Amino acid sequence: MDVGPNARIRFGRGVRFMRDFTGHFYGDVTVGDGVFFNRGCYVAAYSGLTIGNHCLFGEGVSIHDENHVVGRGFEPIATRGFEVKPIVIGNNVWAGAKATILQGVHIGDNAVIGANAVVTRDVPADTIVGGIPARVLREVKESSLPVEQRNKATEAIWLKDTFILPIVKLSAIGQVNREPDRNNKSPLPYGANWHSNSNGHRLKPARLQQLPQYLSDTPIIDP
């Protein structure tokens, strides 16, 4: 993270950044509770950025409150400088993988931004947008699943992402040959301990043994 001398940054509780996050924070940056940035996200906030509570940003999402000044003339684009406008992202917004959010936009609560979309204008609340440039595809409707079932599914997905998938993808982060030490300390920064089964090869975080019983019937990738 690159933080400017005049930046004012406020993070809520439970904000999580996965690997390869890049941030240039030079303006006022406010990030609400429970916000999650997946791998490879890029955030440039030179003017201002406000993100509400419980937002999810998929792999490779880019957020830019700055843009090159363009126009006619012979001056090289690289020397024309930048124009900056603050970005406001509401609560419970989900931006799919490799979506791009550009300067000056306001994204309403509960909006969904499709993968690879480029957001150049305001997004109304409770809508799904996609495309280049992004446009409204339809409205977000309340899930028909019972609340209890939705909560169980959500917990299962978060546990899978945090504790299991990093083990499955060890080769992708250069630790395929790294074994956990004999003191059961995890080589990954996820706070989970390891154990091996009888063949000594298939490893799981020991905390998986403490999952609620209903997860035994939930599809979860098993390393």
Query: Amino acid identity of 208?
Result: L
Q: Per the residue annotation, which of 68, 106, 195, 201 is the catalytic one?
A: 68
Q: Which residues of 103-125 are buried (b: 16+ CB within 10 A; e: fewer)?
A: bbbebbbbbbbbeebbbeeebeb
Instruction: Look up tokens 């090159």; give the residue.
Output: 68
Active-site annotation holds for 54: no
Tokens at 84, concatenated: 């900056």
- Residue 98 zone, left/alpha/beta (φ > 0; ψ -120 to 50; rest): left
From CA 155, how far away is CA 71, in angstroms rounded? 50
Residues recognised as catalytic: 68
